[in-house]
Structure 1
Amino acid sequence: MYFDNAEGPVFRPPSEADSLILRVTIGCSHNACTYCNMYRSVSFRMRPQEEIDAQLQQAQRYAAHIHRVFLGDGNALVLPMERLLAILAQIHALLPKVRRVSCYAGPKDMLRKTPEELISLRQAGLKLVYYGMESGDDAVLAHVNKGVTAAESIEAGQRIVAAGIKLSMMVILGLGGQEASARHARNTALAVSAIRPHMLSALTLMMYRGSELLEEFESGRFPILSPAGIMEELHLLLQDIELPPEHHCLFRSNHISNYINFAGTLPKDKERLLSESLAAKDKLALLKNWDPYNNVER
């Protein structure tokens, strides 16, 4: 559900399909990751209160049917605390049926919030944060200009979990290319193990027009993984993730970018997922006509 005519594209996680999309910012405050072109067409701005009021006033007509709200765009936690708390209070006052508010969050914005501030946001109704960590490897993060180190990425995720906010984390298979594949997988697994997210999604690298990483690929400076190579990287990632037996992490690799879908719960289903990823690797190794441009936006 969406009540807005502001500039720029609108993105939301697949699981927020039935949510009210409340755009509290436009674009992404970082907007410099070399693999991403989601918000390249717009200039980042924090929206004035009257624009947020207008969205909520329209949504209020459907208040009885709105149970979830997703705060857009790319990283709502960039807003100052007083504004976030006021928006959360406004949502619950005008839309009393809302049970969950969620948002995307960038690691730098997560780190700017103190542990106490994050707890306050959870108490005010922020129940779920979607975090594109992408990699736990310093060199890969630097190469794609994520803006943080692996240690900072881990601390950002840990702060969300420690505050009692559910964390849905995304990583990108193939982001290190051929050269860094094994290191990317192992260090990302170490980061996942340290953070202990509630949900983990493994996407496959897609390259988009207007992104610097596509330019690297087309100039021959970034050889990408074959489908079988992606499965090998997934196997390494799963193999090295170590979570306590009592932990319950929903794992999904079913994004439109993925060659083969996987689903399970970690650590309970780890051995099954390892077996399935090996079988998928063998199956995809038989492909005779794989075109690297299948991974490129047409």
Structure 2
Amino acid sequence: MRYEAPLYRPPSEAQSLIIQATIGCSHSACTFCSMYKNKRFRVRSLDEICEDIRWAREKYGMVQRIFLADGDALAMETDELLSVLRELSVAFPQAERVSVYAGPQNILAKTHRELVAIRQAGVRLAYFGLESGDAHVLQAVNKGATTEEMVEAAGRVRAAGIELSATVILGLGGKERTREHALYTAEVVSCINPEYLGALTLMVEKSTPLAAKIACGEFVLLSPREVLLELRMMLEGLQVQHCLFRSNHASNYFAAGGLLPRDKARLLAETDRILNDERLLKSEHFRGL
């Protein structure tokens, strides 16, 4: 298998076969992210991708789950992506699903018919980096999409029958926007109503534009306690149906999870328990990306 490092995948794809269909991120301009900064975005040749798929079939045999890397496989032309998915279907007919990272602009560039064809060809889950529902925060971090575009993109994915796993980043508004970030994010997530919701906590790497803002005092990070208060505010405001929530990413100060709305009261109680005994928080040394 030919991988161009670094290679990233969601925590839930730890046991998945990873096929690198694109290199880098088609946006790669978010001020908080350094994941693909050393890569120039490009789509790999169809021949190379198919060779990797056939190699994986010979090497691994049966595969249940497949993740198409890097940052946004939906940036591929639809015909090429469908060719990759057909090759995967031939090589791994027993696979349960194919999943992808999906950026808002690349979703919006696809028609409903294209997204339905992509779902019918095997893509069952899209990981969607919402990050925030606060328009001010989205603009400040150069996400490349408005809240309205986020809602529209998520709606298109779900309308095509593809499950949505949305991600939000606690602390992304800093001290100045923590309340707005929590409340507006809860509002947008409630509107999107994803099947899955994951919460990460902001971790700043030195090479990012956000780090420069912190250095000059323009952006003030939240304390661990303030992060939990933000999470509590967001959870309290969520009005979703049958949404599996997780905060088990390595960046978080504590891990929690449950089905919303069924487990909302328990999740709020767990958060309160941590707030009342901050010794239960994960040490900064054990956090990671």
Instruction: Specify if TM > 0.5.
Output: yes
Q: Alpha-carbon deviation of 1:186?
A: 0.5
* Structure 1: stretches of 5+ with no match in the other structure: none
CA distance in 1, matches of 2:61, 2:280: 53
The alignment-based identity, stated in percent, is: 46
Of residues 233, 249, 256 in structure 2, which corresponds to 1:255?
249
- 1:120 corresponds to: 117
CA distance in 2, matches of 1:286, 1:71: 36
Q: Alpha-carbon deviation of 1:165?
A: 0.7
CA distance in 2, matches of 1:176, 1:64: 45
Of residues 189, 194, 218 in structure 1, which corresponds to 2:191?
194
Runs of 4 or more above 6 Å deviation: 293-297
Q: Does 1:238 align with 2:232?
A: no
- 2:161 corresponds to: 164
Of residues 272, 277, 285 in structure 2, which corresponds to 1:283?
277
- 1:216 corresponds to: 213
CA distance in 1, matches of 2:132, 2:211: 18
Q: Alpha-carbon deviation of 1:217?
A: 1.2
On the 8 A contact 1:25/1:45 being kept in 2, the answer is yes
- 2:108 corresponds to: 111
Deviations 1:230-267 (A, max 9, x none): 01100110111112xxx311101111111111111101
Give the CA RMSD over aligned residues: 2.0
CA distance in 2, matches of 1:295, 1:46: 32
Counterpart residue type for residue 75 of structure 1: D
Distance 1:235 1:285, change over 3 A: farther
- 1:20 corresponds to: 17
Q: Alpha-carbon deviation of 1:286?
A: 10
CA distance in 1, matches of 2:254, 2:5: 31
CA distance in 2, matches of 1:22, 1:266: 32
On the 8 A contact 1:63/1:94 being kept in 2, the answer is no
- 2:140 corresponds to: 143
CA distance in 1, matches of 2:124, 2:228: 32
Of residues 77, 90, 97 in structure 1, which corresponds to 2:94?
97
Distance 1:184 1:65, change over 3 A: same
Counterpart residue type for residue 88 of structure 1: L
Q: Alpha-carbon deviation of 1:209?
A: 2.5
Q: Alpha-carbon deviation of 1:63?
A: 5.5
CA distance in 1, matches of 2:238, 2:158: 17
CA distance in 2, matches of 1:296, 1:140: 23
Q: Indicate the SS of the match to 1:234.
A: helix
CA distance in 2, matches of 1:296, 1:117: 37
Q: Alpha-carbon deviation of 1:19?
A: 1.2
On the 8 A contact 2:250/2:287 being kept in 1, the answer is no
CA distance in 1, matches of 2:288, 2:126: 28
Q: Alpha-carbon deviation of 1:272?
A: 1.2
Q: Alpha-carbon deviation of 1:114?
A: 1.6
Deviations 1:63-96 (A, max 9, x none): 5321211100000000111111111111101222
Deviations 1:191-216 (A, max 9, x none): 11001100101110000121111111
Q: Alpha-carbon deviation of 1:97?
A: 2.2
CA distance in 2, matches of 1:210, 1:294: 21
Q: Alpha-carbon deviation of 1:117?
A: 1.5
Counterpart residue type for residue 271 of structure 2: S
- 1:59 corresponds to: 56
Of residues 76, 83, 97 in structure 2, which corresponds to 1:86?
83
CA distance in 2, matches of 1:21, 1:232: 36
CA distance in 1, matches of 2:164, 2:288: 29
CA distance in 1, matches of 2:68, 2:195: 20
Counterpart residue type for residue 4 of structure 1: R
Which TM-score applies when normalising by structure 1? Answer: 0.92
The number of residue pairs the alignment matches comes to 288
On the 8 A contact 1:227/1:285 being kept in 2, the answer is no
On the 8 A contact 2:21/2:70 being kept in 1, the answer is yes
Q: Indicate the SS of the match to 1:65.
A: coil
On the 8 A contact 1:8/1:27 being kept in 2, the answer is no
